[in-house]
Structure 1
Amino acid sequence: MGSSTVVDAARRALGPVGIALPASLADPIDIDGQREAVVRLERAGYRAVWTNEVVGGKDALVQLAVLLAATRRTVFGTGIANIWAREPETLHGAASVLAQAYPGRFVLGVGVGYAQQAAATGREFGSPLSRMRDYLDRMHGPTMPPAPDAPYARIVAANGPKMLALAGELADGALPAGGPPAFTARARQVLGPDRLLVIGLSMVPGADPVRARQIARERVAAGLAQAWFAAAVARLGFTGQEIAEVSDRLVDTMIAHGDPAAIAAKVVEHLAAGADHVALLPPIGTDFATSVDQAEWLAPALRDLH
Structure 2
Amino acid sequence: MSKTLGLWDLVTPELRDPAVLAELERLGYGTVWLGGSPAGDLSTVTPTLAAATTLRVATGIVNVWDGEPSVTAAAYRRVEASYPSRFTLGIGAGHRSIVGDRYSKPYDRLVSYLDGLDAGGVPESGRVLAALGPRVLELARDRSAGAHPYLTTPEHTAQARSILGAGKLLVPEQKVVLATDPDEARRIARSRLAMYLTLPNYTRNWLRLGFSSDDLEGGGSDRLVDALVAWGDAEAVRERVAAHWDAGADQVALQVLNADKLGVLRALSPVLV
Same topology, TM > 0.5: yes
Structure 2: gaps spanning 5 or more residues: none
Does the CA-based 8 Å contact 2:176-2:256 persist in structure 1? Answer: yes
Written as runs of structure 1 = structure 2, the 5 A alignment for 1:92-111 is 92-111=73-92
User: How far does residue 265 in structure 1 lie from its aligned partner after superposition?
Assistant: 1.1
Question: Counterpart of 2:143?
Answer: 170
Does the CA-based 8 Å contact 1:52-1:79 persist in structure 2? Answer: yes
Distance 2:149 2:175 in 1: 11
* SS of match in other structure, 1:204: strand
Q: Give the alignment's TM-score, normalised by structure 1.
A: 0.77
Q: Is 1:133 the counterpart of 2:118 in the alignment?
A: no
Question: Counterpart of 2:7?
Answer: 19
Distance 1:59 1:70 in 2: 20
Distance 2:130 2:192 in 1: 20
* SS of match in other structure, 2:7: strand
Q: Is 1:43 the counterpart of 2:26 in the alignment?
A: yes
Structure 1: gaps spanning 5 or more residues: 1-10, 25-29
- Give the structure, 1 or 2, with the largest relative contact order (CA under 8 Å, sep 6 or more): 1
User: How far does residue 261 in structure 1 lie from its aligned partner after superposition?
Assistant: 1.6
Q: What amino acid maps onto 1:191 in structure 2?
A: L
**Cα distance per residue 1:7-57 (max 9 Å; x no partner):** xxxx56xx5211122437xxxxx59954343223223221211111437xx
Question: Counterpart of 2:184?
Answer: 211
Q: Give the alignment's TM-score, normalised by structure 2.
A: 0.85
2:46 pairs, out of 65, 83, 105, with 65
Distance 1:19 1:247 in 2: 26
* SS of match in other structure, 1:39: helix
**Cα distance per residue 1:230-273 (max 9 Å; x no partner):** 44323212355555584444332221112222112101101111
Q: What amino acid maps onto 1:52 in structure 2?
A: G
Q: Is 1:301 the counterpart of 2:262 in the alignment?
A: no
Q: Is 1:253 the counterpart of 2:237 in the alignment?
A: no
Q: What amino acid maps onto 1:99 in structure 2?
A: E
User: For the structure 1 residues 194 and 137, does the alpha-carbon distance in structure 2 shift closer, same or farther, using more than 3 Å as the test?
Assistant: same
Question: Counterpart of 1:270?
Answer: 244
Q: What amino acid maps onto 2:9 in structure 1?
A: L
Distance 1:18 1:72 in 2: 15
Does the CA-based 8 Å contact 2:145-2:168 persist in structure 1? Answer: yes
Q: Is 1:291 the counterpart of 2:261 in the alignment?
A: yes
User: For the structure 1 residues 262 and 31, does the alpha-carbon distance in structure 2 shift closer, same or farther, using more than 3 Å as the test?
Assistant: closer
* SS of match in other structure, 1:93: helix
Does the CA-based 8 Å contact 2:17-2:51 persist in structure 1? Answer: no
Distance 2:198 2:65 in 1: 26
User: How far does residue 82 in structure 1 lie from its aligned partner after superposition?
Assistant: 2.0
